[in-house]
Each structure stands twice: as C-alpha cells, then as structure tokens.
Amino acid sequence: MLLQGVRIEPVRLELARPLKTARATYTVREGFRLWVEDEEGRVGQGEAMPLPEFGTESLSKCERVLRLLVGVSRLSFIHESLGGMEWVRRFLSPVHAPAARHAIELALLDLLAQRKRVPLCRLLNPKARVWVRVNALLTANEPEALAEEARESYAEGFWTLKLKVAGRPIEEDEARVRAVREAVGRSGKLRLDANGGWSEQEAAQALERLVPYQPELCEQPVPAEDVEALARLQLRTPFPLAADEALVSPEHLRALLETASGEPAVRIVVLKPMVLGGLLPALEMAQQAAKAGVYSYVTSSLDGVVSRAGAAHLAAALPSGHLASGLGVGKLFVREEPAVHPYQLTDGRIRIPEAPGLGLPV
C-alpha cells in the first residue's frame, strides 16, 4: 500500500472554562490534525496534541517531527506481508516525539483497518468489546457547584465521577469529595486524581482522611519519579492507587511492576496514548501489566475527537474493560471538532462504530 496524499492542519480547542490540575491550569489545547490517503482513495486520520508537562514534546517540536515523518511516509509502503501493524511499529520505533508518533500511527492504523474492513479495535484485538464505559470529569471548584455537576453527570448515566484533588488544603479537598459523595450516594463511583501534587506524607494523610468516602481509586498521589513512595502508599491504602504521570515508557512500566517490595507499586496503570506514543505501545503495556495482575484503563490528554476515537478503540481492546475510561472530555470544549461524529456519549458509554477503521467522517 502506497501513501499518495498527506495533509496537516493546526487544531486549536478552547475550553469552556479553565481546568485546574496540580500541575497547570488549561484554557486551550493546540495541536495538529493529519490525513493520509492510500492509492485506492481511503483516508486515515490522526491527531497530535502535545502536552509537555505530562511527558510529550513541545508544540514546535511536534510540528517539526510530524512534517519530517510525513515526508518519509509518503515514500513508504505499508507491507501487509509483515502484518501491517508490525511495519507501523518498526517504522515509528526510532521516533522520540510521542504526540507526533501518535498521530502518524493512528492514521496508518486507521488505513490498515479500513483495508481489512474491520473496526480499528478488532485490528488490535479480534475479541474487542462493543461498548466502552466512560467517567465524567468534574471541573467545578466549590463544593456546592461540584455537587450539582455530579448530580447532573450521574443522571446522564455516568456512574464513575472523577475529581481533581491536591494543590489546595486537604480540608478543602475533603469538603469537595464529601459534597460529591453526598450528591450521588454510595452507588456512584468516585475517582480521585492528584496529578502528583502531594508529598508522600501529605498523600498518606489525605488518603487516610478520604477513605470514609469510598474512593474507587486515586490517580498519581505523589510525583511521578517517586515510585517507591507510590509502592509504600499502596501497601497502606485500602483502595487502589493508579500510576498516571509515572507511566511514560516501557522502562517506567517495568519500574512500576518491579519494586523493592517485590509487589507492583500500584494496582492500576493509566494509559494515555498521546503520551505513550500511540495505541500499539499502550496496548503492549496493558498486556504486560495484566500479566502482573495490574489492571489498566485509557484516558485522553484533553485531546480532540480523532484522538479520543483512537483511545476508545484502544479501551475496547484492553485485556479487561471493567474500569471506566476517561474519554468524556468533549463537552469541556467550546466547540467540538467536528460537531457531529459517531463517538457521542450515550448513557455514560461510547458504542464503537461498526464501520471499518476509526469510522470518522473525513
């Protein structure tokens, strides 16, 4: 298969209101949309939305690498005799720009799945699931507003609600968590995300105070580089901890699975395809984690709909799908890109389209 045409366009998505995390406050997301066309007129789509503070390259480097890769790929054949996906893996293996790599990989996998006339998730895993359950990300700051947002999300079918913590006094976080728990009762799942914003001592104190509110899990309570602290916290915390920012490469996964205690540092790993360099590296990490008894789920990096579509296919292909994925961020943007697409949320879930590839309109 020869790639005949390639197009790159900048993407700018504005958030309806600022989103505060322990690392930064976001008002806009910028990146690039990619289209590649094969000799039979099929079009594969990809997207690069770098997030440097989470481990990707800068926006300027992303563009440079993306245009370089596009120039090379236009002259390349995707050798289906190698299984297609293996060729993609080999072609992109030297690339050290995760967001650019993600865009090229996604576009090529979209094309390959179209050629094989299967949804992309079935290319990744023939036994992929049809539905992907999604959590709601709560963005309000004050307890009363959070409670109202939680009630609305739960009524829309989101059984898992995610709340950002850390970066403020624990008393304030506890009040916010309490408000959400009281708003949805005990049947709703409450997911916390500290974005590495606590020290080990602060995390230990905070997690102990939050146990009565029955969190489903807490993402990245301590800085990404402190894996042993993460392991110590997991041993003393009755609910699962999840590694998010701590997982940016296969080497980091190995460190999480092989700690000094002999046990994995966490019970869950969070897969961000944009940060990990694509769907294939993320799926391989999920499979390795599963062998060690560690579950996984997929989240976006505040990405556009093309990236979220790829992430939904990855989530459907994971070894286990019992944890909700973090793909319900489209409503956070002022304007969806594009406005109509087959990945709209229904009852807190995404139904994977039956169309070949990503199934997105071009």
d(CA 298, CA 277) in angstroms, rounded, equals: 13
243, with CB counted inside 10 A (0-12, 13-18, 19+), is buried
Type of residue found at 82? L
CA atoms within 13 A on the CB side of 72: 11
Q: Which two tokens stand for residue 290?
A: 């599963």
**φ, ψ of residue 287 in degrees (nearest 5):** -65, -40
Active-site annotation holder among 116, 127, 162, 164? 164
- Enumerate residues 6+ apart whose C-beta is below 8 A from 220: 193, 194, 195, 196, 242, 243, 244, 245, 246, 270
Q: Does the active-site annotation cover 116?
A: no
Q: Does the active-site annotation cover 20?
A: no
Asked if residue 338 has a cis previous peptide bond (ω within 30° of 0), the answer is yes
Q: Are strands 43-48 and 131-133 parallel, antiparallel or unpaired?
A: unpaired
∠ CA 244-215-157, rounded to 5°: 90
Type of residue found at 2? L
Q: Give the DSSP H or E segment for 89.
A: helix 85-92
Instruction: Count CB neighbours of 202 within 10 A.
Output: 15
Active-site annotation holder among 61, 127, 189, 272? 272
Sheet holding 160-164, edge to edge: 136-138, 160-164, 189-193, 215-219, 241-243, 268-271, 295-298
> Annotated catalytic sites, by residue?
164, 272
